[in-house]
Amino acid sequence: MKLTGNKRIATNTLALYLKMVYSIIVALFTTRIVLSALGVEDYGIYTLVAGVISLLTFLNVSMAIATQRFMSIAMGQKNIDKLKDVFQTSITLHLWIGVIVVVSLEIFGFFLFDGILNIAEDRIYSAKIIYQFMIFSTFFTINAVPYDAAINANEDMWVDSIIGFVETTLKLLIAFYLLSTSFDKLIVYSLLTTVVLILSRIVKSVYCKRKYEECKNAIHSLKSGNKIVMKEMAGFAGWNTLGALVFVGRNQLIAIVLNVFYGTVINAAYGVANQVNAQISSFAMTLLKAINPQITKSEGEGNRVRMLQMADYSTKFSFFIFSLLLVPLFLEMDFILGLWLKVVPEHTVIFCQLILVASLIKQLSNGVMLSVQSVGKLKVYTLVINSIYLLNILLAVLLLNFDFEPYYVIISMIAIEFIALLARSIIASRIISDFNFKVFFINIICKQLIVFSLVLLLAYLPSLKLSESLFRLVSTSLISTSSLFVLFYFIILNKIERNKIENLLKSKILKIK
């Protein structure tokens, strides 16, 4: 029986969360082993030069949303011919994007290693090699986007989860291999992770071509595709991809700025912090991945009310899930990192805490971003948000030039994220009918920040009486979890949402009886 609507969201969410829990557990071991095998210096080099590979996950998701948006709208309109045109055009479009990005990265590489990066002379050669692996991975990642979009648009998340299970397991095996190899560990690690990415892309393309009608006769060519659809998609995908590139580029340029002032050791701390943030963010991203097709299809069906309602749900629940994990992590970060890593690089604790706060603020934008992408009016939105994000680079340079501690750079990221949140909301209120900025600001932004602050204060109570220990970590987690559930239910959820949850629970209880 084919699942639809909310049941499909629930099934897909379960599949994605199973994959995510496994990925997080394995990633914790993998990072610990890789840091131990490479050492702080080489790990810092990897996160500086090739760390963009991990950030490409965000870029890949952002570009996939562009293709998925057009595919989901065609599905909502039940237009199979348009669906085929969209997929074929997407392949051609992403081939062009891949070529442009690769050429740009190669040109940038000439300047990057000629006096910009602060890397020891004897490791420059290895850094250049892994930079080439990064470029190779980037091309394949970009060209996997149409297939990721097809899987997402068809809401076939169990396939995505199975591929994710295998990919995560292979990365763990690579980490163990590093402990025994006599070759340059930095180069070996970069090579093998690149191979895993390529294999994942091949598997997805084979599956899609066999499973989905719109993918079966698609060809890889720079000249194929419907010109009318190409023009429409290029405009949307261009602005969407530009936004993703600026976000990814902001993070990498901050890594370069930190490197210029403090060397590769600070990049190890920044890299660990981004790794922690990536794992926690995956909880929220998983929910968005499950709900996004329904948001876009609602817009394609002309159901604007349901689209905005689903977008609000995504914001509320992604913020809730992120907060659930952030509070105990934020308060007990020193203890947790000590348990997790053999060696904790300097500044790692404060970097982790602040980057997580910046990501928490970004969760409040999730519904707004999905709404704007569904409607498709991206030009002004992207230009404004990109300009705000690029200010972060200027702030980072100024702060470090005036001898501020490196963590002030991350504090500036928090301020920028909040400004971007307000800008997104204001722009959305002007381009989307029925989106009310005042209502969103009060019911979403203010209420959720108040709830988070109350939970943080309550969860801090054990720290006033107990010394740092596993018992205090458990106590903090229990207080934060219970208080967040209660406050979220009574303050964040409205009466209709509470009734839906109550009815769902009652139906489940009756089934058990």
Tell me the pLDDT of the chain (513 aa) as tens digits. Answer: 444 455 666 666 666 667 767 777 787 778 778 877 888 777 777 777 665 555 555 556 666 666 777 777 777 677 777 778 888 888 888 888 788 878 888 887 777 777 666 777 778 888 888 888 888 888 888 888 888 878 877 777 778 788 888 888 898 898 888 888 888 888 888 889 888 888 888 888 888 888 888 787 777 766 666 677 777 777 776 777 677 777 777 877 888 888 888 887 788 888 888 878 877 877 667 666 667 767 777 777 778 888 888 888 888 888 888 898 899 999 999 998 888 777 788 889 999 999 999 999 998 988 888 888 778 777 888 889 888 988 999 999 999 999 899 999 999 999 999 999 999 999 999 988 888 899 999 989 999 999 999 999 999 999 998 888 989 999 999 999 999 999 998 999 888 778 877 776 666 555 555
pLDDT score of 448: 94
What is the end-to-end Cα distance of the chain in Å, rounded? 25
Write the DSSP string, 108-166.
Answer: HHHHIIIIIS---GGGHHHHHHHHHHHHHHHHHHHHTHHHHHHHHHTT-HHHHHHHHHH
Residues in the chain: 513
**How far is 40 from 120, CA to CA, in rounded Å?**
13
Residue 204: DSSP 8-state = H
C-alpha distances out from residue 332 to 101, 284, 337, 342, 352, Å: 40, 21, 9, 17, 11
pLDDT score of 462: 92
**How far is 112 from 132, CA to CA, in rounded Å?**
13
**How far is 445 from 428, CA to CA, in rounded Å?**
14
pLDDT score of 1: 40
pLDDT score of 185: 86
Does this model's pTM top 0.85? My answer is no
pLDDT score of 471: 92
pLDDT score of 2: 45
pLDDT score of 410: 92
**How far is 464 from 155, CA to CA, in rounded Å?**
47
Burial of 159 (0-12, 13-18, 19+ CB in 10 A): middle
pLDDT score of 424: 92
Q: Helices 5-49 and 124-143 sit at what angle, rounded to 10 degrees? A: 160
Backbone angles phi, psi at 79, to 5 degrees: -115, 95
